[in-house]
Amino acid sequence: MVLNLKLTQFIEGYGLLRKTCFLKKQQRKFDELHDEIKNIEEFLDNYDELNKDNKITKGQIKGIISKLKTKYKSLDKLECEEIYEIISDKYDQLSKKSRTEYPHKRSYVLPTSFGNVIRAFELYSYQVYGIDAIAVWTRIVQLAASDHKKSIEDAKSQVDFALNLFYISYFLLIEYIAMSLFTWTMPAKLVPFLLIFFVWAFYNIAIDSAKAWGEEVKAVFDLYRYNLLEKMGISGITKSSEKEKWEEINQLFLYWNK
């Protein structure tokens, strides 16, 4: 169990990986994603402003598309409404990606894609409700329905299974390379290519499984946070005061500050 935790933390990007070029790569991808989202937001705002009376022209469309990335510029051959619909759909896709594949702040970005998916749902409860997941999780999960608990356990098992297969494939690949270098031979030449494929495949399966696990975890905070407040004898919480109250509870659980 402890070994599995350490292996998971390593592939998330803690430890030595945090000091490698992988972190800068993930930060660059984070910046590019948010820059693209910002540019599309500006496009949509400009489109709405120019199209107040449904009189936007092709020339105006070309003008605001020119500010987007090159891959969007071919859209100027389409009708105005089609362009707007395609770019709106792209905005929804990128917004979802930014919420599920990265934390909400650049400073929280980790060196691996897997780690950033985990970090994204770890920070969800604090970003939305002001709940520190580390402080509150062991308490709030006790209030989840039994079928929900099972769903969480099943989703986490899928992540562990994929990571275990990833590591097995990875270490077999390292062993094969070491043996080949030691003997100066390359037996079963197809094997390393298969192992590379398995490493890539199981890593991506782990990422997809982590997203599903994250949705189960986020649902616990969405559905049972008021149950926890009730169990603690706290009532009269409003939407406007909820974050402030959870900040107090975080302090209580983490530092025993009443």
What letter would DSSP give residue 104? S
The predicted-structure confidence for 11-27, as pLDDT tens digits, reads as follows 898 876 677 788 999 99
pLDDT of residue 54: 65
pLDDT of residue 40: 86
Q: 16-34 b/e with 16+ CB inside 10 Å = b?
A: ebeeeebbeebbeebeebe
pLDDT of residue 188: 77
All residue ranges of the chain with pLDDT < 70 are: 1-3, 16-17, 50, 52-74, 76, 257-258
pLDDT of residue 153: 96
pLDDT of residue 64: 67
pLDDT of residue 146: 95
CA-CA-CA-CA dihedral for 139, 140, 141, 145, to nearest 10 = 130
Provide the whole-model pTM: 0.86
Output the six-digit token pair for 88: 């709106």
